[in-house]
Structure formats: structure tokens, C-alpha cells
Structure 1
């Protein structure tokens, strides 16, 4: 028998299918790097969104303008920490109505002069109610204090007027 030539095997790096496999792996790796999108994992569900944005409390913190002014006069920073972004019911005496109907101001119940007051910003629907007010009448408003300042006093977004 003639001697058979021993079949010499090529190294794996010289085979076409090896390089095809490397190219496919490289393409897959590069495409995963470019689309590192975890939107399904990080997007909040409806329940998570509702839990992170709590609704305003149904029972407002009850306070008079006199108390707000006293707190602001004693320590503006503490007053801001106490009342800013809080849902409140405030009672005071009407001191000014804006002629364009954007806001009205309430001050101390006893009518005494104060550098501070509560600017009550109203909606279009509330303008008719405010148009019937008279100066120095007692007014109670419910809403959220949006700003506290040592110069102007308090700003309130009015939800309702009693």
C-alpha cells in the first residue's frame, strides 16, 4: 500500500468559519454598547408615579395671617421651612384687591399695619367672588403657599375661598 499522505490540519485561525464567528461576536458586542437602553427597567410604572407624586392633603393646616406674620418676623428661614409648599387654610382681613383681578391681599385680622401680607393669586373662576369683596372684610382662603419672603410676605395659590 502506498503510503498515505497525512492530512495536515490548518490552524483554527486560518479557517474561514472562525473569522466569521469573530465578526458576528464583534458586531453583537458593538450593537449592545450603542443601545444600552434600559428604558423598560428604569421607567416608572403608573403605580410608582402615583406614589412619588402624592396628592395634596385633604385637610389643610389652619393658620391666621397674624401667626404667619409673627413667624416671618421672628425668623424668615424658619417660616419658609414651615409654610412653603404647604396646603393651608388662612384667615385674615382683606387689605387690597388687584385692579386686573389677578390677586388680592389679606393682612392681620385686627387691621393693624404690617409690612407683610399674604398675596392670594386667584383663577378666572374666582374673580366673580373677589369682585364682591369689600375692603377690611374677614376672608378665609384655602390653597398652597408657593413663596415666602422677608420683603413681600407670602404668596398663595388659592384653591377655594370661604
Structure 2
């Protein structure tokens, strides 16, 4: 009798699992499936363009550095993983191996903090752009903030850099 009960429970369990999978995969009305199809087809055709087309929020480097100095935890909450266009900075250092550059603000009250911009090793166009720059030159940097600290400032995954006139 024990094997019979176990077998019945197994069959019932399999039926329940199949029912759950079926309702998740195919449940819904025709209108819902049409909306999903339209969304997925439009997103699949423009998905590649959207992946490369980031929207960068404008950020003044002096404000970023001041916020990190005053409260690094708050700055971390506000900016980590955000795509930003940092304006008002000047190049402090260019790594000889082109692994990173550092950009500092112009506010003399916050001279120890900076933005470290990490350069992806396979981004030849970005490296070529950086080779044309000089220490002290004013720049605008675009990228994603990866870390915020009260001693060093910001870390950024660099997407693009522009020299300012």
C-alpha cells in the first residue's frame, strides 16, 4: 500500500508541475499575446541600437567630488551604476599602459579627490582619443560610475572622452 500511495503522489506532483509550466508559458488572452509579440519584435529590431545608445545624466565634477567628500555613502547611493556625462574636469594623469586616466575638479577645496576612468582594453578608438590629450587639459568624460569612496573619489567605466575648448 505504501508504494501505491507514493506512486499516486508522484503522478499528481508531475501533473501539477506540468500545469504550472503550461499556465506560465501559454496563459493569457489573445490580446495579451499580441501585445507581447509586438513589444518583443520591436525591441528585438531596436535592441542592438538601444544597447549602444546610453542616456548620460549631466554631472558637474566639482559637485560630484563635494558630495563624495561630505557623504560618500549618500554619493554611492545616488551615483553608483549610473551613466553620467561629467563636465568641468581636467586630466590629472594618463596611465602609461592606457588602463586608466584620472580627472580632477577645479575646486581647490577638494584637490585630493578625483574620478578614475578605467579604459576597456579592447576599445581602440577610445585609446586613440586619449593619446591625443595632455595632462591639465579640460575634458568631458562619459561612462558608468562603478564605485564611490571618500578617500579616492569615483571610479568610472569610460565610454567616451572629449577635449573641451
TM-score when scaled to structure 1? 0.67
8 Å Cα contact 1:93-1:111 kept in structure 2: no
Distance 2:53 2:23 in 1: 31
Report the structure number with the largest CA radius of gyration: 1
| Aligned CA distance change for structure 1 residues 77 and 31 (closer, same or farther; 3 Å) | same
**CA offset digits 1:93-112 (Å, max 9, x no partner):** 00001111111000013677
Q: Flag as ranges the 4+ runs of structure 1 deviating above 6 A.
A: 45-48, 54-57
Out of 96, 119, 124, the position equivalent to 1:122 is 119
**CA offset digits 1:34-70 (Å, max 9, x no partner):** 6847556567x8969x8xxx96984322112211111
Q: Gaps (5+ residues) in structure 1?
A: 1-18
8 Å Cα contact 2:76-2:149 kept in structure 1: yes
Q: Secondary structure at the match of 1:101?
A: coil
Distance 1:79 1:102 in 2: 25
**Aligned length in residues:** 136
8 Å Cα contact 2:66-2:110 kept in structure 1: no
| Aligned CA distance change for structure 1 residues 32 and 85 (closer, same or farther; 3 Å) | same
What is the deviation of 1:113?
6.4
Tell me which protein shows more helix as a share of its residues: 2
2:30 — aligned with what? Answer: none
- Pairwise mapping of residues 5-154 of structure 1 onto structure 2 (< 5 A)? 23=4, 27-33=7-13, 36=17, 38=20, 58-91=54-87, 92-109=89-106, 114-123=111-120, 124-125=123-124, 126-154=126-154
